[in-house]
Amino acid sequence: MFSGIVKGIGTVLERRDRGADCRVVVGCGGVLAGPLALGASVAVNGVCLTVVESTSESFAADVSAATLAVTTLGRLAAGVRVNLEPPLALGDTLDGHLVTGHVDGVAEVVETAPDGGSTRIAFELPAPLERYVARKGSVAVDGVSLTVNAVQGRRFEVNVIPHTLAVTIAGGYAAGTPVNVEVDLVARYVERLLGERER
């Protein structure tokens, strides 16, 4: 479990394709306290991965074909920058919102624009995820906990402050950028419970 408060940016050092799966090696020196324990979880652009190799400066994780199919991790290559967050520990402060690291789908940046001291970013969701995003609700974009400021159909908007732009990959977003989206955990359970009640 994560909070959506990214600890910093890492860089993909290597990608090793293994049939339909792949192994990625991510440089994390100075971002995550290392070496990470084998079997530990880490969120990479919002996707929960398991550490299978680790040094004080990097870690490796295997990415399954199923994960590659529903996230942006299939686009990773050496030199690509990624958001990194270690998992929450019991007793940690929950500064963002509860994020599982189980990405629901890939959205696309529609536009970015200055808005006061922050930057307004608009995204377009895949149609099946539209019903889970609500104004003033929470959403995780590439693992970053954000508050939804506006919703219109499949499009939603957030405002991102300069600090977040500086310490995450959001500072590099432009129209057409694909992003991982995890909708609010509560929305999925409410839908499930209401569906059970209607039966």
pLDDT band with cut points at 50, 70 and 90 for residue 28: very high
Per the document, the length of the chain is: 199
From the number of C-beta atoms within 10 Å of its C-beta (0-12, 13-18, 19+), residue 46 rates as buried
pLDDT digits (tens, 9 = 90+) for 86-127: 998 888 887 888 899 999 999 999 999 999 999 999 999 999
Best CA proximity match to 156, nearest among 126, 124, 187: 124
pLDDT band with cut points at 50, 70 and 90 for residue 145: very high
Sketch out the chain's domains with CATH numbers: 8-85 (2.40.30.20), 105-197 (2.40.30.20)
Sign of CA dihedral 62, 64, 65, 69: negative
pLDDT band with cut points at 50, 70 and 90 for residue 183: very high
pLDDT band with cut points at 50, 70 and 90 for residue 199: low
Question: What's residue 91's pLDDT?
Answer: 80
The beta strands (E) that lie in 55-161 are given as 58-63, 81-85, 105-115, 118-124, 138-141, 144-152, 155-160
Question: What's residue 163's pLDDT?
Answer: 95
